Structure 1
């Protein structure tokens, strides 16, 4: 490991190698010192597992923790309750460590709200927003409710205006109050409960959010340890927060000595957590498979360095990461892949953008074998063209 100071440039290779190490994606001995090989530790190291598609989140966690299966992730989530499924960064559904939920809710609820994307007639006043969040918290205290049951409770506690069908939905219209569902999660008023049959339920996480300034400072430090060096713009993009707010936040933390500046290749001035200036001296090596919306692929910036050349066109959707599962070779996106399950059989198709040599082919086969163990199935590997589109 080498130490970098403010006057020294951190290369993309060094930054990328450290990010991989800290998420147990490099296979190096250093990884064990930064991310625990367990379910909760893996989720904490990546700063939440994107769980809009829960099976993808299960795989994100399991591929970082040797020996962990999807059943282990489900046990942590629904039995042990060491994980929580709720609305996380960018307002999207994530798995978060239960022990860190006070920080997350404190930080997420402190992010300034942007302008409403809804038509004027569909919007809610600030007082209505507060009334709905309070109603959600009250309704879910000690309860597990489906979305329809929760809707009835919210409307009954607030008024008929909350039930106005003004929000375009997949096959109709949703009631007005639904536009702040994710905000209720950010405020700590709700999280997901176990499914009731095929229906999702919501419940109270029973967590008091940490004070905003303390929580945002903690989240920035955690983010920089996972994905630094990074700029305030990178942080704002990851969190879906206003750039001006992020810039002021970084200025305040720099003034308090909690973060420090380095020069990051291609970015100029960037930031790391105070004292966290050691980086691996060797370039990333190895082969990895990452599922849909994996945290590493989404958060690593500059994106064009991770998805360089042909990967930018093949593995992104209009510049957006996450819509394709990706193949990493030596720390860079080098292909896409797809799985199709039928019973225990898992058909895995991997499309490298360049032919793999014998050593990398063996490493890919080992990755697919590990994928099968994580998903508790029997994998069959085909190297060839992935014919399905993004998020298929």
Structure 2
């Protein structure tokens, strides 16, 4: 008896159901959204809000604010692939042990090298003492921006001249690098931005120390959550998403007892034990997802939901996805928002009148709760999509 086969249509049904993109399955709380996709990409401020609201029954920036800044039930960590993810408080200790701590160790070594090479009077002891002073200052202040902390810890104002003599030389403050290091090490978090939910000006606050989780156990738990949300998938998909070595990935899969299945065309893949049975076909669904959304960035192999010929229109040279239009588990177009609030979208192919109506409805609802904005997820990919939509077919 051969291994179970899970074809493309089944994978698309799983994507819509498990990532809460089917209308009847959307969540009431943002914590449920984050757990459904394991973690929300948080490199750009807007992505967390837009990804979450695409999966909430009642889209609300206030609901995301509640989890991030009031209940602090959603925390941001520099983790998988050295990308910032927003994960639930319950998953955070596992993500910290499985990914963030190792990244923090590398960040610390890199920062120390830069301090020795490009600043004066720095060594490991001074860096450690500065970290202690920053944490002590935060304990007194409650929360503070890097600039405010530099009033208490003056050495944060010191700078490093990077790439001296190059056309792209630039000065970096010690404070900007050190606070990022403390965040990746799980000591501080970003508090509510000063301004709108798209603001990049934010203070820092201390976070309680999470319980220690053995690294191997943590890696297995992260992969278990990921396979539950993204399976079936290949070991290469897991390696790409986590940024781990193939050895780490294989060890975690073995610890989980992951089962072999076959994809369309016979390619080998894996699922969690008991997850090889088909899922029910969901009702038709449309979605407008932001740059770096988990649905488009979840797998290395994307041909089952994204045509190769459409990749250049959606991805930048670094492999980052821009805003995407979805219909029933496939990427069928791109979208952008004008500063006046209008949401423009363009389909890459004919998907039928019903799909167009559904996409138009989602675009109207999105524009309705967004209002006029000027930034939806990073200049590198947003600008290109705005040009395509403005000069292509507008709907």
C-alpha displacement of 1:176: 5.5
Question: TM-score with structure 2 length normalisation?
Answer: 0.77
CA, structure 1 residues 106+75, in 2 after alignment: closer, same or farther (shift >3 Å)?
A: same
* Alignment partners' CA distance in 2, 1:88 and 1:225: 19
| Aligned counterparts, 1:19-98, within 5 A | 19-27=15-23, 32=25, 36-98=27-89
Bigger Cα displacement from structure 2, 57-66 vs 270-279: 270-279
CA, structure 1 residues 341+175, in 2 after alignment: closer, same or farther (shift >3 Å)?
A: closer
* Alignment partners' CA distance in 2, 1:128 and 1:225: 44
Q: CA RMSD in A?
A: 3.8
C-alpha displacement of 1:108: 1.9
* Alignment partners' CA distance in 2, 1:20 and 1:8: 21
Q: Does 1:217 align with 2:217?
A: no
* Alignment partners' CA distance in 2, 1:163 and 1:351: 47
Q: Does 1:351 align with 2:346?
A: yes
CA, structure 1 residues 262+111, in 2 after alignment: closer, same or farther (shift >3 Å)?
A: farther
C-alpha displacement of 1:339: 0.7
Asked if the contact 1:336/1:350 (under 8 Å) is kept, the reply is: yes
Q: Which has the higher strand share?
A: 1
C-alpha displacement of 1:317: 1.9
C-alpha displacement of 1:14: 1.4
Render the CA deviation track for 1:227-285: whole Å, top value 9, x for unaligned.
1122332122112223333233333x14xx3x322223357332222222233254884
Asked if the contact 2:188/2:205 (under 8 Å) is kept, the reply is: yes
C-alpha displacement of 1:328: 1.0
C-alpha displacement of 1:116: 10
Alignment partner, residue 297 of structure 1:
296
C-alpha displacement of 1:109: 3.4
Bigger Cα displacement from structure 2, 277-286 vs 227-236: 277-286
C-alpha displacement of 1:366: 1.7
CA, structure 1 residues 121+37, in 2 after alignment: closer, same or farther (shift >3 Å)?
A: closer
Alignment partner, residue 91 of structure 2:
100
CA, structure 1 residues 82+115, in 2 after alignment: closer, same or farther (shift >3 Å)?
A: closer
C-alpha displacement of 1:204: 1.8
* Alignment partners' CA distance in 1, 2:131 and 2:14: 40
| SS of residue in 1 equivalent to 2:90 | helix
* Alignment partners' CA distance in 2, 1:388 and 1:83: 39
C-alpha displacement of 1:319: 7.0
Alignment partner, residue 205 of structure 2:
203
CA, structure 1 residues 177+18, in 2 after alignment: closer, same or farther (shift >3 Å)?
A: same
- Structure 2 unaligned segments of length 5 or more: list them: 117-122, 374-385
Bigger Cα displacement from structure 2, 138-147 vs 187-196: 138-147
Alignment partner, residue 376 of structure 2:
none
Alignment partner, residue 336 of structure 2:
338
Q: Does 1:370 align with 2:368?
A: no
Render the CA deviation track for 1:28-54: whole Å, top value 9, x for unaligned.
x5xx3xx74321111221122222222
Of 322, 326, 329 in structure 1, the residue corresponding to residue 327 of structure 2 is 329
| Aligned counterparts, 1:1-392, within 5 A | 7-27=3-23, 32=25, 36-109=27-100, 111=102, 122=114, 137=135, 139-141=137-139, 143-150=142-149, 163=158, 165-167=160-162, 172-175=170-173, 179=177, 182-196=180-194, 199-211=201-213, 212-251=215-254, 253-254=255-256, 257=257, 259-265=258-264, 268-280=267-279, 282=281, 285-318=284-317, 320-322=319-321, 324-342=322-340, 346-375=341-370, 385-387=388-390
Matched positions, count: 364
Asked if the contact 1:60/1:294 (under 8 Å) is kept, the reply is: yes
- Structure 1 unaligned segments of length 5 or more: list them: none
* Alignment partners' CA distance in 2, 1:246 and 1:154: 41
C-alpha displacement of 1:226: 0.8
